[in-house]
């Protein structure tokens, strides 16, 4: 298979990556490369891999990619600070190092299509953990003969990264948020590539798939360039002697960047150690150390895990001093933890999917909404089994607009009282916990109806339910949306306590039970013995 065919195809049929049969050696010495521009260096490196591209084709791709879209003429400046040298790869249009490779991939792709007389529209499927998505969309935006679809973990990228993708212009760009983490997104893309029946259907409709991830050799080759260029610049600036070994440190997530450094070393660049730097979400470090790749790993919790409670939850840096470990057991002090035989140095694993522990904890994403719907389904079940007919007309409204702020902005005209079942916030300066039902007196938007709230408190007292009364300063509910929508209603808010809201959420079955019993008490059901 030729290089252009591999770029077009993106991923091998068996799910593997296209790689050169052997790694080439540089034609020029590092001394000869020292006097060249970034674009000239790019040609000298890329021609060794993309052997079926003509000189004219390759120089055309390089010229179009590395132009005025970069805010510095040198493309990738090498700067010195605190005794170390830094290759600045953030001067592209999206301020991500991914711009270096993704600026040229669209030109590789369209050139490869012409070379291979491809008459089908190329659909780029890409998974991202943040940076790749925007950079790829920006690179392929409005490129003729292509479409790009980016998949990202809905709760696994920063808000800035998400907005960068959602606001990307281009008639041929699409972005999809998925449930799960980056591995789920990447696996999904690979499954699509491996679906032969789907491929036949696409072929019939005039489409062919490719990818802009590091799984595409057209992404990897451009990354080799800046390692060759960096060493050549050190030599040109007399910072090192010719042949002197240099260690390379690369922040790494999915290994594509450091792999390019390895390629450069094998091509003859005098590198010493290749050092992979990782943050606390150190999946590769753990893999190398243990030999086990944990695809169900979860991000580390911060000490301010809830946007509904902590002011700094959206901006807190992921540093060790800000991290906490949350035990799925009922503990009150260090002695309780010790009795569970949990101590310093123990290994911890995280599971982002639904978990129901033996001690009654329930963990899941989006648990505030899912747990509340489960409570209401439980009320309906009890009503049916007890053949209970309430004196008041009871309507259940389940909205999928709560998270975008619309919530129950529309309610039926005959609704007089709206009892929102959502969640109780758990955190600093709040009374709530995961084992009780929270009755909200006021949230960040509106105070709740005095009579309804007092009625709920009285029912909780009479039935000896576990409850707290709280104020949620960072929170808004369906009741607030209904009032802002102009509905003439009275409203109240209750919910089971949820820890780490909008993070790796957790509640307890006892909190669900107390919430269910309070709802049943409010509509007049007899207390179950």
Task: State whether the Cα torsion 98-100-102-105 is positive or negative.
Answer: negative
Note if 402 is an active site residue: yes
Q: Nearest 5°: phi and psi at 277?
A: -95, 135
- 255, two tokens: 């290994």
3-state SS string over 471-487? EECCCCCHHHHHHHCCC
B/e letters for 394-423, b = 16+ CB within 10 Å, e = fewer, are beeeebeebeeeebbbebeeebeebbbbbb
Contact 305, 298 (CB under 8 A): no
Report DSSP state, residue 525: P
Contact 84, 127 (CB under 8 A): no
Catalytic residue among 402, 434, 436, 520: 402
Query: Residue 344 and residue 505: Cα distance in Å, rounded?
Result: 24
**CB-based contacts of 357: which residues, under 8 Å, 6+ apart?**
328, 363
DSSP H or E segment with residue 86: strand 84-87
- 289, two tokens: 């150390």
Q: What angle do CA 32, 37, 41 make, to 5 degrees?
A: 60
Residue count (the chain): 529
Give start and end residues of each alpha helix (H) in 304-449.
334-339, 367-386
Report DSSP state, residue 471: E
Residues with catalytic annotation? Answer: 402
């Amino acid at each position: 298979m030729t290089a252009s065919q591999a770029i077009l195809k993106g991923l091998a049929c068996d799910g593997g990556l296209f790689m050169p049969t052997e790694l080439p050696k540089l034609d020029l010495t590092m001394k000869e490369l020292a006097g060249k521009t970034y674009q000239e260096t790019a040609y000298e490196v890329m021609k060794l891999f993309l052997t079926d591209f003509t000189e004219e084709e390759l120089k055309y791709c390089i010229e179009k990619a590395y132009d005025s879209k970069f805010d510095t003429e040198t493309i990738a400046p090498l700067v010195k600070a605190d005794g170390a040298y830094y290759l600045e790869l953030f001067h592209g249009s999206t301020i991500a190092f991914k711009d270096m490779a993704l600026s040229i991939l669209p030109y590789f792709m369209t050139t490869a299509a012409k070379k291979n007389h491809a008459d089908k529209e190329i659909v780029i499927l890409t998974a991202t953990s943040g940076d790749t998505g925007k950079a790829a969309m920006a690179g392929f935006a409005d490129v003729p003969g292509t479409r790009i679809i980016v998949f990202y973990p809905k709760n696994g990228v920063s808000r800035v990264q998400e907005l960068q993708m959602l606001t990307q212009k281009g008639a041929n760009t699409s972005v999809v948020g998925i449930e799960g983490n980056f591995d789920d997104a990447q696996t999904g893309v690979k499954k699509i590539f491996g679906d032969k029946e789907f491929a036949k259907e696409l072929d019939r409709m005039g489409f062919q798939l490719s990818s802009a991830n590091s799984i595409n050799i057209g992404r990897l080759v451009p990354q080799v360039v800046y390692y060759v260029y960096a060493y050549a610049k050190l030599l040109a600036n007399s910072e090192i002697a010719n042949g002197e070994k240099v260690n390379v440190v690369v922040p790494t997530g999915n290994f594509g960047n450091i792999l390019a450094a390895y390629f450069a070393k094998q091509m003859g660049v005098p590198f010493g150690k290749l050092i992979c730097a990782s943050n606390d979400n150190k999946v590769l470090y753990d893999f190398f150390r243990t030999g086990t790749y944990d695809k169900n790993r979860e991000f580390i919790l911060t000490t301010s895990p809830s946007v509904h409670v902590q002011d700094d939850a959206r901006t807190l840096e992921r540093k060790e001093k800000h991290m906490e470990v949350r035990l799925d057991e009922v503990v009150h002090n260090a002695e309780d933890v010790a009795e569970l035989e949990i101590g310093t140095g123990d290994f911890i694993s995280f599971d982002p999917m639904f978990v129901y522990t033996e001690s009654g904890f329930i963990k899941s994403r989006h648990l505030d909404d899912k747990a509340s719907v489960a409570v209401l389904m439980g009320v309906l079940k009890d009503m049916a089994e007890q053949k209970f007919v309430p004196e008041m007309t009871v309507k259940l409204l389940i909205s999928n607009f709560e998270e975008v702020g619309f919530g129950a902005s529309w309610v039926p005209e005959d609704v007089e009282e709206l009892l929102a079942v959502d969640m109780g916030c758990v955190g600093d300066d709040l009374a709530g916990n995961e084992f009780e039902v929270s009755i909200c007196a006021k949230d960040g938007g509106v105070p709740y109806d005095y009579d309804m709230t007092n009625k709920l408190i009285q029912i909780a007292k009479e039935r000896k339910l576990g409850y707290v009364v709280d104020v949620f300063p960072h929170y808004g509910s369906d009741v607030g949306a209904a009032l802002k929508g102009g509905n003439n209603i009275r409203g109240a808010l209750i919910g089971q306590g949820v820890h780490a809201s909008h993070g790796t959420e957790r509640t307890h079955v006892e909190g669900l039970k107390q919430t269910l019993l309070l709802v049943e008490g409010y509509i007049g059901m007899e207390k179950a013995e």
